Homo-oligomer: A and B are copies of this chain.
Amino acid sequence: MDTQDAVKRLSALAQDSRLEVFRLLVKAGPGGMAAGDIAKKLKTAANTMSAQLLVLSNAQLIRARREGRSIIYSVDFEAMSGLLVFLTEDCCRGAAEVCAPLAAVAKRCC
């Protein structure tokens, strides 16, 4: 994960609707969700949604697979974790003020 990738992922998430899409896909789990269903759920035009899904895909934060006529999107947790580790380690140099709260979260959920 170099800086370029990090910036790409950050900007993909740095927008209301795209962050919402990402969260929706997290909720959907590994099964994912069809492009059309995402658009419907978030009340967005299909082509607009397609563009937003492309941005998230290019950032590798989500993956696409075809299933019949539908294209199913699902989150790539590895990429997301890569971003978070980058921000924590490389960017913040593992500062205690950042690490400690994360450790608490991790302990709670793993």
Residues of A participating in the B interface, judged by any CB pair closer than 8 Å: 3, 6-7, 10-11, 13-16, 19-20, 22-23, 26-27, 77-78, 80-81, 84-85, 87-103, 105-110
* Most chain B beta-carbon contacts within 10 A, residue among A13, A98, A105: A98
Q: Is the CB of B23 within 8 A of A91?
A: yes
- Nearest chain B CB to A46 CB, angstrom units: 23
Does more than half of chain A's interface fall in helix, strand or loop, or is it mixed?
A: helix
- Nearest chain B CB to A108 CB, angstrom units: 7
- Nearest chain B CB to A88 CB, angstrom units: 5
Residues of chain B within 8 A (CB-CB) of A96 are 109-110
Q: Decide: A109 near B105, CB < 8 A? Known: A84-B88, A93-B26.
A: no
